Amino acid sequence: MAELFSEEWMNGYLAAWNNEPGISSDLEKIGFNSIIGYGFLKINPAA
């Protein structure tokens, strides 16, 4: 599953997000800012 969040995948997500001018320009107008994080939460550290 780690390959799901690979650098290649994240760069594709970035490109797709920024390729939609209607979304990015509207969000820019309202001062939208975000940080997208991803990873895996290890519930049982001993496992």
Better pLDDT: 27 or 41: 27
Residue that wins the pLDDT comparison between 18 and 37? 18
Does 41 or 17 have the greater pLDDT score?
A: 17
First vs last C-alpha separation in the chain: 17
Please give the model's pTM, rounded to 2 decimal places: 0.46
- pLDDT score, position 47: 60
Instruction: Please give the average per-residue pLDDT across 34-47, as a whole number.
Output: 71
Instruction: Answer yes or no: is pLDDT of 5 > 90.
Output: no
Contact 33, 40 (CB under 8 A): no
CA distance 43 to 40: 9
Q: pLDDT for 7-21, tens place per residue?
A: 888 888 888 878 888
Domain extents in the chain? 1-47
